[in-house]
Structure 1
């Protein structure tokens, strides 16, 4: 598959709310994020379902899918950012006629975080358009050092795992590899891949580098998710794994690496780079679909300084 970078973000950003509903506190935080975007010179369009609450989600799946299509069809919206996360993005793909292919118009950039990785990976692996995992949801732009959202830089070139990766990168295996980035939140990505929402990478001859983070997940559950992916053959074409922040389970990295060693090829490169995750971190927009090189170095450094 050929992957291509999107065009730079235009002046109007569309905030999509395709997962959890926005309770009053979340709405306050999204409003604060909108104010931050406006101070950066953006105009903002919020999806029409943003005030809805269908139990946990921001409206029924059909309503969320329709609101997303409506946002995409607005010619003034020149890029997209997730409003909040949750566990319900996968619902969209159960809606009749919904397709990631229909969301790519004029190669406008897509940014998202947490549960939005379901949508981002589906877009990239279906259409070949690079999408960005980060800098965070609109309601948590105050938890990333990219809160001013200099989106043009991301489409032109940026350190793949962030400026902080220069000091945060730790090789866990040695070795070098080249591959295309896919991943995001471990649980959301896994369920989407198992369901076929994220197209099987087995259809591509391109080797992949899998990056993931987790929010306060039980290490046993993380292992369970890794084994579930392995049983589908997911790791057969994975040449590298980059582990981000694991929340309260930060100390379980050796345990998770051991699980990965059991299911990955002997030559797979493993690294830790806790610059991204569900905490107050740099959280750079990581380009899903970009090919990068991880090169063994004496000094811990980012595997790919900048992309262009």
Structure 2
């Protein structure tokens, strides 16, 4: 059975950096994000790892793990919100004290998705794939990003609904800051391989495929045991986003997931928008999506609001999702059961 944390009004949010911290040249941006949370009525506790960054990580693995364990076990902290992702979160997975985790939301994406997926698979505690802390430092948030609070404040047994965004950001422009951080200029269109409307239902699991693929073959990526122990062999609805992989590397990763049994009892795959989908000898992302759809006999939806081309909906690992895609738009219902 999945355990769903609940975001209390006024709770204390712990900010720690299990992957990358924030370089001192960007501390003002982090301070802005903290102020936005405090303005919403949350208490905020920042760990020491947040303020440092050296050689692709916030701190040595043991220090990152100790601080994360402290936050996960501290009953005065009601949510964990890393500043952003990074590169080497996987270094700390074997130092997390999973059996002592107190159920609380962890929210983020990119490299953070390694932590999210590992915790849900290991413990049955739901985790949330969505905005990073640094992306809510603006004067206001777009409607899609802002839903993180509503989703995380859903009580167990209840539902929440989100809809696909109207526009997305094609590329980052840090030289021209915006009041809502993102510059949403391109029309959003959720697409299906068959070009028709689809309806999907399943237990959500996923993250950034660049990094979660490295859980395969480790104790922290045992999808089959999770299916049996926590969701009673219900079908899984995977969501995946590609940060840096070429189309051939994406294909290799999906085949590896298939061979490892990750797609057994799979009801569909959702792929996020990506700048990384560079074709190789004419082999493009649609070829990849079409092949995996045909091999598994499942619907595939792509260019969804997920990943490194914001905004993104808040997807909860472990939750039941019912998703309808029609005419390029989508409605997403998550059921916390």
Q: Which TM-score applies when normalising by structure 1?
A: 0.84
**Alpha-carbon spacing, 1:23–1:167, altered in 2? closer, same or farther (3 Å):** closer
**Contact 2:15/2:50 (CA < 8 Å) preserved in 1?**
no
What is the alpha-carbon distance in structure 2 between the residues aligned to residue 220 and residue 298 of structure 1? 29
What is the alpha-carbon distance in structure 1 between the residues aligned to residue 304 and residue 220 of structure 2? 27
Gaps of 5+ in 2: 168-186, 228-232
Secondary structure of the residue aligned to 2:268 is strand
Partner of 1:271: 301
**Contact 2:30/2:134 (CA < 8 Å) preserved in 1?**
yes
Give 1:298 shift. Answer: 5.4
**Alpha-carbon spacing, 1:259–1:155, altered in 2? closer, same or farther (3 Å):** farther
Give 1:42 shift. Answer: 1.8
Gaps of 5+ in 1: none
Secondary structure of the residue aligned to 1:17 is coil
- Indicate whether 1:151 and 2:149 are aligned: yes
Higher helix share: 1
What is the alpha-carbon distance in structure 2 between the residues aligned to residue 77 and residue 189 of structure 1? 26
The correspondence of residues 114-263 of structure 1 with structure 2, limited to 5 A, is: 114-135=110-131, 137-142=132-137, 145=142, 151-156=149-154, 157-160=159-162, 162=164, 164=166, 168-173=189-194, 176-201=199-224, 203-204=226-227, 205-249=233-277, 252-261=284-293
Of the structure 1 ranges 162-171 and 29-38, higher mean CA displacement relative to structure 2 is found in: 162-171
What is the alpha-carbon distance in structure 2 between the residues aligned to residue 19 and residue 102 of structure 1? 21
Number of aligned residue pairs: give it: 298
Q: RMSD value over aligned CA atoms? A: 2.8
Give 1:19 shift. Answer: 0.5
Give 1:72 shift. Answer: 2.5
**Contact 1:245/1:273 (CA < 8 Å) preserved in 2?**
yes
Higher strand share: 2
Partner of 2:7: 8
* Equivalent position to 2:318, from 274, 280, 289: 289
**Contact 1:202/1:237 (CA < 8 Å) preserved in 2?**
no
**Alpha-carbon spacing, 1:142–1:255, altered in 2? closer, same or farther (3 Å):** farther
What is the alpha-carbon distance in structure 2 between the residues aligned to residue 298 and residue 149 of structure 1? 21
Cα offsets for 1:234-286 (capped at 9, x unmatched)? 22222200111112428843122034236x422x111124312112x221211
**Structure 1: which 4+ aligned runs deviate by more than 6 Å?**
none
**Contact 1:202/1:234 (CA < 8 Å) preserved in 2?**
no
- Indicate whether 1:94 and 2:85 are aligned: no
Secondary structure of the residue aligned to 2:41 is coil
**Alpha-carbon spacing, 1:131–1:42, altered in 2? closer, same or farther (3 Å):** same
Q: Which TM-score applies when normalising by structure 2?
A: 0.78
